[in-house]
Amino acid sequence: MACQPKPEDKGSKSANITDKVNVFLGSSGDHGQMSPSASTPFNMMSIGPHTNPHNHTGYEHYAKEFDGFTHTHLEGVGCTGSGGNILIKPILEDNKDTELLKISEHAKPGFYEVNFENGIDAAMSVTHNFGIHQYNFNGEKGGLYIDLSFALSNRFVSEEHEIQDNKISGVIDTKTTCHAGTYRFYYEIQLKNIAKISQISKHGLIAKAKDNSREVQVLIGFSSVSKEYAKQRIENASYENLKKKANAEWEKALSRISVEGEEDREDLFYSLLYRGLQSPYIVSEEDGTYPAIDGTIQKTEGTIYSGWAIWDNYREQLPMLSIAYPDRYDDIVTSIENLYAFGKKNWATEHEPAPTVRTEHAIVVLLDAYNKGYEVDIKRIKDSLVKDAENLDYGAPDKALESSYDNWAMAQLMKIDGDTVLYNKYLKKALDYKEYWNKDFKDITRNDVDRMQARGLYQGTIWQYRWFVPFDVNGLKQLAGGEDQFLEELNTFFRNHNYNHANQPDLQVPGMYNATKEPWKSQELYRKIMLDTMVQAYFNDNSKGIDPYVGRIYQNKPKGYIRTMDDDAGTMSSWFVMRSLGLSSANIGDPVYYLTAPIFKEISINYPEGKTFKIRVANYNKDHYYVESATLNGETLNRNWLTQREILKGGELVIKTSETPNKEWGVKEPWVSSIKKER
């Protein structure tokens, strides 16, 4: 079993995008909370290592001791993670306590392989809801220990299984992230070269290998619907062929965006794009059968997704999917709409079909989708939308601003629906943000404005949350005392290192200069956060460091992010991906993207129907990040923004960069979010 990467010719770039992906990025400690598990795009099944000690996905890159291999991993989320179901451990002499100490490991998109000191070799690969483990015992008397009750953070609830010859099938219920709800999935395991399966405890099994059998295989199928569908997932495939199939799936997904530039930047880009394509998970079967979040079985003509972290990734990952993967995003939007149709909660329900986190701001996502041209059946879910809006939380200063954002989006949806009464009701509620802002966020001379969790804030400070009015930046400027005062306070915010890239609450703030007369400052900030040295004083453990971190935030190594910075289901990786392309959402809910200098010479977003949107830097210099001028399809572009429609119809954006800022470009035609009250 080849578990060591082959040496590469440093003089030439690999022809395969998957070779650029470092699946170990962010897999050490609290520096991303990611896993090198074998996965395919949007697949709930990901098979990978569980180490001792481990991070939130069950793995620690620098740990030597392995507990075995598990089958579900929700990447980069908090509350000590989610998933970690069905532990399978290769053992010797029927000893479930066999010590597994890593010698070396090798992984790329779609597979994971490792060698242990006791001579056991392990390899695993997947395609959608089907996986293969392959264990080589190298002549020793081997077998498997299977723990059906295994899950991260003691989140196992219950399981039922049956054994028939060399097959195990069953159903497992597990608490999802933060113990907020319960997800259920069904499975079928088929074992090859196994003589006998013995039950040694209520949830524990030992499978003995046949005499003189050097190799044991595990074939496993998943379904969110039933054991029968899980059984149908089992393929008659070799490990090597499955590995090739998984690689091809990743190659297709990653090649949606082509970039040309410095090799280290390409590698970092694709390693992070890879993270943005892990979830949400496809939970419907090929015939359209799927489980709704109320526990019922439903039917669809499309594809249904689950496994949400919307409070985090509505800011970056979902917009990235909407612009680069519109063929997939249509079904993702329908799946979010379905949350309202079948009993959405802010966190998880008791009938989730996959590990999930939370769904706040789904109203904003639906408005964003509608305005980007995706279909949203507002009438179908109107009553549930109203129920969600009526239960918005205004109990803390940050919640008041976030709920105002939802009410703004709700007002727009009601306007689209033609309901003038509800439109005016929710718009008035949205405008109440001004009262809350004046009360808690206007005065920045108070002594607690830089203190984490002051006044009941969630994972942030007054300084960080005071900018959270993305739907009415024009109104925010007026509250601050006009644009000049707004800019002065924004400058102070960054000058004093109050910005926190370790978490999401102020993630949009570096882009706010785009909505002012100084857009060049966003151009500078984006490049610093992506590739340069930053001072980071705040962390995701609600601390303000005495000794701030000074260095790069994004690095292509196991300690890939700054301390305590979680990827949060593709949020932070997608932030990097979008700004690498020179695009960033102006306001989720409006189909507008601000422009800045890409970090590559050439970029293509290659749409399935043959259209291509190209971005080219005319006078490329890797260290130039200010925009001198731009053209769109040969026409001079003086504005610093594009719409979703302009990008999706294809064409070419040419950006000329410079070493110094052009303080006139992008100033005369600004796009600034604003509430215009209509009756």
Residue 11 in this model has a pLDDT that exceeds 80: no
For residue range 117-144, list pLDDT tens digits in order.
999 999 999 999 999 999 999 888 999 9
pLDDT band at 12 (very low <50, low <70, confident <90, very high): low
Q: Looking at residue 678, what is its pLDDT?
A: 52
In sequence order, the 6+-apart residues with CB closer than 8 A to the CB of 391 are none
Q: Return the H-helix or E-strand segment holding 76.
A: none
Residue 6 in this model has a pLDDT that exceeds 50: no
Go through the chain and tell me how many residues it has: 679
CA-based angle 346:348:350, to the nearest 5? 130
CA 397 to chain centre: 27
Pairing mode, strands 257-260 and 65-70? unpaired
Average pLDDT over residues 495-515: 97
Any bridge partners for residue 656, and if so which?
Answer: 629
Q: Looking at residue 677, what is its pLDDT?
A: 58
Q: Between the CA of residue 347 and those of 175, 460, 567, 648, what are the distances in Å?
A: 12, 20, 18, 33
For residue range 389-444, list pLDDT tens digits in order.
999 999 999 999 999 999 999 999 999 999 999 999 999 999 999 999 999 999 99
pLDDT band at 116 (very low <50, low <70, confident <90, very high): very high
Residue 644 in this model has a pLDDT that exceeds 80: yes
d(C-alpha 467, C-alpha 65), whole Å: 45
pLDDT band at 14 (very low <50, low <70, confident <90, very high): low
Strands (E), 179-214: 182-192, 194-199, 204-209
Residue 113 in this model has a pLDDT that exceeds 90: yes
Residue 2 in this model has a pLDDT that exceeds 70: no
Residue 4 in this model has a pLDDT that exceeds 50: no
Lowest mean pLDDT among 63-77, 264-278, 539-553, 573-587: 539-553
Q: Looking at residue 290, what is its pLDDT?
A: 98
For residue range 30-42, list pLDDT tens digits in order.
999 999 999 999 9
CA atoms within 13 A on the CB side of 471: 28
d(C-alpha 488, C-alpha 486), whole Å: 5
Average pLDDT over residues 623-627: 97
Average pLDDT over residues 640-647: 98
d(C-alpha 228, C-alpha 287), whole Å: 13
Question: Would you state the torsion angle of the CA atoms of residues 243, 248, 250, 255, taken in this order, to the nearest 10 degrees?
Answer: 160
Q: Looking at residue 13, what is its pLDDT?
A: 62
Residue 531 in this model has a pLDDT that exceeds 80: yes
Q: Looking at residue 15, what is its pLDDT?
A: 82
d(C-alpha 31, C-alpha 23), whole Å: 14
Q: Between the CA of residue 624 and those of 247, 512, 643, what are the distances in Å?
A: 35, 21, 25
Average pLDDT over residues 282-290: 98
* Mean per-residue pLDDT over the chain, rounded: 96
Average pLDDT over residues 628-652: 98
Q: Contact 306/354 with Cβ under 8 angstroms? A: yes
Pairing mode, strands 156-164 and 142-147? unpaired
For residue range 180-225, list pLDDT tens digits in order.
999 999 999 999 999 999 999 999 999 999 987 789 999 999 999 9
